[in-house]
Amino acid sequence: MLKAVRWSVVAAGVVVAGTSYVIPAPASAAGQRSNRPVGTFHSSLPTYPIARSWGAFNPPNSLENVKVTKPNIVQVATSATASYLLTSTGQVYAWGIGLDGALGDGSNANSVDTPVLVKLPVPIVSLANPAPYKGEIVVGTNGDAYGWGSNKDGWLCVTGQDLDTPVQVPLSGVTSVAGQGNHALYNEGGTLYACGNGAHGSLGDGSMAISSSPVKVDLPGPVSAETASWAGSGAVVDGVYYDWGYNGMGQLGNGTTQDSDVPVQVSLPAPVKEVFRGGDYQGDGSTLALLTDGRVFGWGWNTSGQLDLGTTTNHSKPVNVPALQGASEVVCGGSACYAILNGQLKGFGNGASGVLQKDGRYVAYITACSQNVAALRLN
């Protein structure tokens, strides 16, 4: 969605072509990730035995692949320093760099390739995806949200930093969450709230102030999905995409490079099925939107070819990406983007060749944040 500082290594690598496996995915509402558990318990969702992550922290400062095996995984997410998985029984595990409490296990110790259990008061139904810088937020069966990590500028809607165990967010009836950098978005039954650093207008409330109390984002109807990047945010309302915040590379998609502290509508030729906004610092940021008619449109930063257009020209308005026609998932990280196309994972942009052909097995779900990527797969 996502990164207060730029890492010294290139963006995360990507695994590519190999054997395909057919795995059924549940139907999705417009604007929602296709196998993202939202708002209800997820015993009926497809489960997977393996989560893999790669990028800046796997292990630290490498592009090597980390394999995590747990029964019945239904979702993965990643922050700038750690990855997280959710099981069908509502348990959450974390692995990566423990600095500032990012693993949520009560310590700051690293656990790069061994997942640690995050102790939570209720079963969990979804993970913030993407997740804020050095931390995570989850939604419980009771509609309460719980988070942990750096909490810089109050993205957990509470004061205090370096929270190494989960704390409850002061909102109720939460259905989904997204965050990146030092801000987060909370969907309370269709009403969107934001907390954290409002630099460049990322909170969407008409200001650029920091707020550790929830502020409402003024949108024209109920929100079905939300996304976030460094100093930027977006939401889907009735199939229409709105975004706000940092726009230095044209990532708002409105034909300008001026920041906006309130939502602006992005003109697209069909309703949005899925959208993912990337970017990890000033000077980058790309968005990919999967439409209900199967086309993919992209805009924003493209100097490394991360929009998969075969060019390196930035775009301040959405452009069709023919190479991604028919993709089932699209995501963007710091300076590379990814898609699942014909059962295979494709990556493009800076660092996307970092682990080419190291692991070509079927990827059923992909997510990215800053310079880290996580995926669900069969093997």
| Tens of pLDDT, residues 21-40 | 222 233 333 343 433 433 34
pTM for the full predicted model:
0.86
CA 132 to CA 177: how far, in whole Å? 10
pLDDT at 253 over 60: yes
- pLDDT recorded at residue 7: 17
Bridge partners of 234, per DSSP, are 227, 243
- Total H helices, total E strands in the chain: 0, 26
At residue 232, the 3 state secondary structure works out as strand
Question: Is the backbone peptide bond immediately before 46 cis, with ω within 30 degrees of 0?
Answer: no
Q: 187 pLDDT band (50/70/90 cuts)?
A: very high
Domain ranges for the chain, please list them.
Answer: 48-377
Tell me the CB-side half-sphere exposure of residue 195, using CA atoms within 13 A: 21
Confidence of residue 336 (pLDDT cuts 50, 70, 90): confident
HSE, side-chain direction, 13 A CA sphere, residue 129:
32
* Residue 177 confidence class, pLDDT cut points 50, 70, 90: very high
Per-residue model confidence as pLDDT tens digits over 70-117: 889 999 998 888 899 999 999 999 999 999 999 999 999 999 889 999
Q: Which of 113, 132, 363 is nearest to 347 (CA)?
A: 363
What pLDDT does 23 receive? 25
Which CATH number fits the domain 48-377, given the four candidates 2.130.10.30, 3.40.50.300, 3.30.930.10, 1.10.1740.10? 2.130.10.30
Q: What is the pLDDT of residues 216-232, one digit of tens each?
A: 999 999 999 999 999 99
Torsion of CA 281, 253, 193, 140, to 10 degrees: -80
Residues contacting residue 143 through CB under 8 Å, at least 6 positions apart:
172, 173, 174, 175
Q: pLDDT by residue (tens digit) across 189-216?
A: 999 999 999 999 999 999 999 999 999 9
Question: What are the structure tokens assigned to 133, written together?
Answer: 């810088």
Burial of 323 per CB tally in 10 Å (0-12, 13-18, 19+): middle
